[in-house]
């Protein structure tokens, strides 16, 4: 008998998320890619979106080595129309979305009084409005399914202020508040809303970065936290997870 590769063996046996469909925004690179790969490794069908078609294709190709159910779509998650098309395409091709990871985000830093209205709108729309739009688009289906997981990737900047972080902190504090209220609104429907707050992560993200990248978190650390959230027993949920580097940079 021919030897079964680890990848094919995983697909044959399935996994703890074998009957789940996950949507990861900002899933073509960095933290989003690591999360998408982890969910696929656990057996879920995975849809990813972003703006860079080349990166999306590259990540989708990697995902197909782990799961047969993959969808990528270029989308602007600050646009309700784009979000609607993304969710519709995902559910048509892969099935009802049971896991949503709101990961799309940007960072623009500097003193708030020197920032423009356009910069404010860009940061708040990408980091906060998108969470509202995409979550709103999937909730009705999750209610019909009788449950689901919405995981919002925030930041320790959603708990702590720092000089030059006005726009970014405002967006992430907003994510914290929105997530907490959504959790209360949806828990009776069996929908778990969790927020994950990483510290400095060594990715392409244009944030403040870490003084020593060797001591920074890795994208895989955040993916591990997502795995812990979705694998909680049905009667419980992690409402908020903080992730810090072991050693300060």
| pTM for the structure as a whole | 0.91
Catalytic residue among 87, 168, 191, 195: 168
Q: Does some domain include residue 56? A: yes
Q: Does some domain include residue 249? A: no
pLDDT of 216: 86
pLDDT of 236: 94
Q: Does some domain include residue 174? A: yes
pLDDT of 209: 52
Q: Does some domain include residue 206? A: yes
- Long-range contacts formed by 7-13: CB under 8 A, 24+ apart: 7/65, 7/66, 10/41, 10/43, 10/66, 11/66, 11/67, 11/68
Alpha-carbon gap, residue 146 to 167, rounded angstroms: 36
Q: Does some domain include residue 146? A: yes
Alpha-carbon gap, residue 103 to 151, rounded angstroms: 8
Number of structural domains in the chain: 1
pLDDT of 3: 41
Regions of the chain where pLDDT drops below 50: 1-12, 206
Residue 217 DSSP label = B
pLDDT of 248: 77
pLDDT of 10: 40
Q: Does some domain include residue 9? A: no
The domain that holds 106 is classified in CATH as: 3.40.50.720
Q: Does some domain include residue 7? A: no
pLDDT of 14: 77
Kindly give the pairing relationship between strand 70-74 and strand 148-153: unpaired
Of 223, 177, 180, 161, the C-alpha closest to 198 is 223
**Could you count the other beta carbons within 10 Å of the beta carbon of residue 241?**
17
Encoded tokens for 160:
């702590």
pLDDT of 225: 97
- In tens, the pLDDT along 28-83 reads 999 999 999 999 999 999 999 999 999 999 999 999 999 999 999 999 999 999 99
Residue numbers of the domain that contains 222: 16-243
Q: Is 168 a catalytic residue?
A: yes
């Amino acid at each position: 008998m021919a030897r079964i590769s680890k990848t094919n063996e995983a697909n044959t046996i399935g996994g703890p998320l074998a009957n789940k469909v996950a949507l990861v925004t900002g899933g073509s690179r960095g933290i989003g890619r690591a999360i998408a790969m982890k969910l696929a490794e656990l057996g879920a069908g995975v849809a990813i979106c972003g703006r860079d078609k080349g990166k999306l294709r590259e990540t989708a190709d990697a995902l197909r080595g782990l799961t047969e159910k993959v969808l990528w779509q270029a989308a602007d998650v600050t646009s309700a129309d784009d979000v609607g098309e993304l969710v519709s395409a995902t559910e048509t091709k892969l099935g009802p979305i049971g896991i949503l990871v709101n990961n799309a985000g940007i960072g623009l830093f500097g003193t708030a009084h020197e920032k423009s209205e356009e910069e404010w709108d860009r940061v708040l729309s990408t980091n906060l409005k998108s969470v509202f739009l995409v979550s709103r688009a999937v909730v009705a289906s999750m209610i019909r399914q009788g449950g689901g997981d919405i995981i919002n990737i925030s930041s320790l900047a959603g708990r702590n202020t720092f000089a030059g972080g006005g726009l970014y902190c405002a967006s992430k504090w907003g994510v914290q508040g929105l997530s907490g209220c959504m959790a209360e609104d949806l828990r009776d429907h069996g929908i778990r809303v969790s927020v994950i707050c990483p510290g400095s992560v060594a990715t392409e993200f244009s944030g403040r970065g870490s003084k020593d990248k060797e001591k920074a978190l890795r994208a895989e650390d955040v993916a591990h936290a997502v795995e812990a959230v979705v694998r909680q027993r049905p009667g419980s949920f992690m409402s908020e997870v903080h992730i810090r580097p072991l050693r300060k940079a």
